[in-house]
Each structure stands twice: as C-alpha cells, then as structure tokens.
C-alpha cells in the first residue's frame, strides 16, 4: 500500500431525512458504534489526515469526530448544495504540495474495508488522477452509473435522475467513495456546475470535468457489502447484518466455535480468543474480552466484562460493566454480575445478584445470594474472601467483608464483617412442635364442616 501521506474528506453534512430521527444520521450505531466512527476507524487504520464536513450546528457530529481523531479538522458546509460543494467546504485542508491523495468517503457508507481503500490508492499509483470505487449491486436503483468507453476507460458518472434509459441499464454503479491525485483539486471541483435534475453540485461530475483537462479516471470494483449505503432504518439493519456476518466469520476463522453463528451478536470492540465455544443466542455489548477456552452457554448477555480462561458462563447469565471473571470461574443461570472481580475457580451457579465488590478465589456463592450494594444514595462494596462459603439465600449488606474461608449460614442477612474461618448465622432458632400437623388438620376440617351446615 502506498506510503504517501493523504487527506481523508469524510462527508457527513447530509440531512438524513429518511431516518426520521432527532439523532444525526451518521451517529446511528452499527455494532455499538456510530457510522462515523466506523468510517474514521477504517480510514485511520491506513494513516493520514482527516477533515469531516458537517452541517452548520452539528456539534454532536463534530464532537464524535474529535473523540475518535483528536486532530481532525471540522468544516461546516453552509448549505447542502451537493457532494462537490461539500468536498469544497474542506478546501483549506487540501494538501498544497502537488500529487498528494485526497480520499472522499461518505459517513453513511460505514462498511468500507481498509483493503478497498488501499486498492483505490494503488490504482492512483498506476497514473490515474481519479479512482472511483464501483460495484455491481443486485438492484442499481438510485445509484449513479459508471460510463465506460470502448477501452473500458471511465468517461463519466451519470446520476440516475439524469440518466437515459440506456444508461440506466448499466449495472456498474458508483459507491460514492473517490480518490484524487490531481495538481489542484479545488480548481477541478470549482469547474463543476449544477445544471442537472437536482440542481446540485455533483462530485461525480469530477470525472467528466477532469477528462476535459486530461485527467484520467479509473474504477476499482468492490463487493456490494463493502459499500452498502444507509439512508433508512431498514438499511441500517441491513448494514448491521453484514457487519455481524463478517465479524462472526472472522472469529470462526480465528478458532472460535459458534453453534448458531447467526444468533450471536458482537460489538465493534469484542475480543474473543481461540478455542472459546459460544452457544446460541448470546449478545456481546461493548467492552468484552473472552479469554481462551471459555464456554458461553445459551442466552447470555455480556457487556463491559472480562471472561477469563476456561470460564463457564450461563446459560441465561448477565455480565454488566466491571464484571471480571478469573480463570475457571463458573457463573450459572440467572446470575447477574456488575463491577465485581471473581478470583480463580470462584462459583456462583444459580439466581444471584453480585454487584460492587470482590469474590476471592475458590469461594462459593450459594443460590439466591444478593449483594445489597445500594442504599438509595451510595453504592458500597461487598468483599468475600478466598474459599469462603456463602449459604443459599443470604443477603450481604454492604459495606461488608466476609473473611477467608468463612461460612455464612443459609438465609442470613449479614450486616457486619465476618472473621476468617468463622461461621456467621443470622436467623431465628428453629422450633419444633411434635404432632402439631395432625391436630391442625383435624381442627381445620371440623371448622369447614361446621361452616357448610
């Protein structure tokens, strides 16, 4: 791939009206991260400077861009007069030295891969001044068509609204992404007019205008999945589906078993090591790392968590942010863990809430245990020592410490620290009345009989 520095111009000033949303279109998420972040992430993996073109007052979009690329340059496009006008809004960022690449990407086309960008740049190395990323969609409706001459040279791009019937039959379409290496991009774009069906300044006209000035244009053809555009919520879901499919395949290639991959949902930053086995219907929110050999049984929801080596999780377990499961930890059905570190081999197998604190290595948390971490104002910590045994249906009222190896009797409400090795019991003594049940039954049946009379 070309080592030359380049400038990415990411267009994000469109209205996105078809999303019917108060949120700007490019901030809608795919795999838990904004479309803008996907585009900036892909581009920044190849190196270069960044300019993002936003609509006036789109502070949230600018803030998202700065979060991802702190030295990004933000430009406002005063009026949405078309894609060429949008690129010109970033003119102050254009390289002043000749022959540097400018790559235009659309923020609503989030799935472009770095390899595809690299191919566009390589084709500029071959002497072309403009490289257009083309594709052959199943349904070309709505896309600009790429017009080639007899020698397969790109001569122009025709927007659908301006195309003749013959041109509409062309199946090679414009994805929107373009790369330029021309002596003066601003001058080239300034020659583009707006005499067309939409009355807009089309970036796509750079091909025909450039040709008149002796600039050669070329096409790089990619897969439809790489350039899916998002204009509606339905297309947002389609892009999500493509992203998920790609990422599941990547993990399976890297040695992860998924029994029903189409039911496993990943996030942009999910990390899963080799020999992990994942059963159906598992959802990974952002910030999850799964270490080697862990097993995630069906219907788990995992977010902001570390699942250590050899862990067995689920079925039906929920890990919330700050859950850190050490090696060989077992977390079973209907257990929720939030902001708790569990040491190696610790177990909580049934129906528990563990929130804020720590569980030492080898400790056993019985069924129905609750860490009572919240008093309506503050969150407090529960610390369970190594090898401790917490009996079923115990409430540990934080802040509280259970010493190493201690036992908690079932059903206890523990409000005070428990010393290492001790047994703590908090419940009334059991009473027994011999023969009581029989007497009770006789009394009750007599009463019932009397009522019937």
Positions in the binding site for Ca ion (CB under 5 A): 229
Q: Residue 100 binds what, of ligand UD1, Ca ion, none (CB under 5 to 8 Å, by partner type)?
A: none
Q: Which stretch binds ligand UD1 (CB under 6 A): 44-52, 169-177, 328-336, 350-358?
A: 169-177
Nearer to Ca ion, 11 or 43 (CB): 11
List residues bridging with 173 in a β-sheet: 135, 145
List residues bridging with 178 in a β-sheet: 104, 132
**Pairing outcome for strands 145-148 and 154-158:** antiparallel
- Least gap, CB of 241 to ligand UD1 (angstroms): 18
Q: Which pairs with CB-CB distance under 8 Å and at least 24 residues apart come from 241-245?
A: 242/111, 243/30, 243/31, 243/110, 243/111, 244/31
- Least gap, CB of 66 to ligand UD1 (angstroms): 18
Please report, for residues 145, 173, 195, the alpha-carbon distance to residue 141 in angstroms, rounded to integers and kept in the order given: 10, 9, 22
The answer to whether residue 94 forms part of the interface with ligand UD1 (CB under 6 A) is: no
Does the annotation count 38 as an active-site position?
A: no
Q: Residue 83 binds what, of ligand UD1, Ca ion, none (CB under 5 to 8 Å, by partner type)?
A: ligand UD1
Nearer to Ca ion, 229 or 357 (CB): 229
Q: Which stretch binds ligand UD1 (CB under 6 A): 9-17, 91-99, 115-123, 352-360?
A: 9-17
Q: Residue 85 binds what, of ligand UD1, Ca ion, none (CB under 5 to 8 Å, by partner type)?
A: ligand UD1
Cβ-Cβ contacts under 8 Å for 53 (sequence gap 6 or more)? 9, 10, 11, 12, 13, 75, 76, 77, 86, 87, 89, 90
Nearer to ligand UD1, 83 or 395 (CB): 83
Nearer to ligand UD1, 83 or 218 (CB): 83
Cβ burial, residue 279 (10 Å; 0-12/13-18/19+): buried
The answer to whether residue 239 forms part of the interface with ligand UD1 (CB under 6 A) is: no
Cβ-Cβ contacts under 8 Å for 40 (sequence gap 6 or more)? 10, 50, 52, 65, 68, 69, 72
* Assigned token pair, 396: 């540990």
Q: Residue 267 binds what, of ligand UD1, Ca ion, none (CB under 5 to 8 Å, by partner type)?
A: none
> Which listed residue (6, 7, 11, 236) binds ligand UD1 by CB under 6 A?
11
- Enumerate the active-site residues: 350
């Amino acid at each position: 791939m070309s080592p030359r520095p380049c400038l990415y111009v990411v267009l994000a000033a469109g209205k996105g009206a078809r999303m019917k949303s108060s949120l700007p279109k490019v901030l809608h998420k795919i795999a838990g991260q904004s479309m803008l972040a996907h585009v900036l992430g892909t581009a920044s993996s190849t190196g270069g400077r960044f300019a993002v073109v936003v609509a006036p007052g789109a502070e949230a979009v600018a803030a998202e861009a700065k979060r991802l690329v702190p030295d990004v340059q933000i430009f406002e496009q005063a009026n949405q007069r078309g894609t060429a006008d949008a690129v010109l809004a970033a003119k102050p960022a254009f390289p002043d030295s000749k022959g540097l690449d400018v790559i235009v990407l659309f923020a609503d086309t989030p799935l472009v891969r770095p390899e595809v960008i690299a191919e566009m740049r390589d084709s500029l190395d071959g002497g072309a001044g403009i490289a257009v990323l083309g594709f052959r969609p199943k349904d070309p409706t709505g896309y600009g068509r790429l017009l080639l001459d007899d020698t397969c040279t790109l001569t122009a791009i025709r927007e659908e609204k301006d195309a003749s019937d013959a041109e509409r039959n062309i199946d090679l379409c414009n994805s929107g992404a373009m790369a330029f290496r021309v002596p003066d991009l601003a001058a080239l774009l300034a020659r583009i007019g707006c005499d067309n069906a939409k009355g807009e300044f089309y970036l796509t006209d750079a091909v025909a205008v450039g040709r008149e000035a002796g600039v050669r244009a070329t096409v790089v053809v990619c897969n439809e999945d790489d350039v899916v555009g998002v204009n509606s919520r339905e297309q947002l879901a389609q892009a999500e589906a493509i992203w998920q499919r790609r990422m599941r395949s990547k993990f399976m290639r890297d040695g992860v078993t998924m029994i029903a991959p189409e039911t496993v949902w990943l996030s942009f930053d999910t990390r899963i090591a080799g020999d992990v086995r994942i059963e159906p219907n598992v959802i990974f929110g952002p910030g999850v790392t799964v270490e080697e050999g862990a097993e995630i049984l069906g219907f788990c929801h995992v977010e902001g968590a570390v699942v250590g080596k050899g862990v067995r999780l689920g079925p039906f377990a929920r890990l919330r942010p700050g859950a850190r499961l050490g090696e060989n930890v077992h977390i079973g059905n209907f257990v929720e863990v939030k902001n708790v570190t569990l040491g190696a081999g610790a177990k909580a197998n049934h129906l528990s809430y563990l929130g804020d604190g720590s569980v030492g290595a080898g400790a056993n948390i019985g069924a129905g245990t609750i860490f009572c971490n919240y008093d309506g104002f503050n969150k407090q910590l529960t610390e369970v020592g190594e090898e401790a045994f917490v009996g079923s249906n115990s409430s540990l009222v934080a802040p509280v410490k259970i010493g190493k190896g201690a036992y908690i009797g079932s059903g206890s409400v523990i409000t005070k620290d428990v010393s290492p090795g001790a047994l703590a019991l908090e419940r009334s003594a059991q009473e027994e009345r011999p023969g009581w049940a029989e007497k009770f039954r006789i009394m009750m049946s007599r009463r019932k009989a009397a009522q019937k009379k």
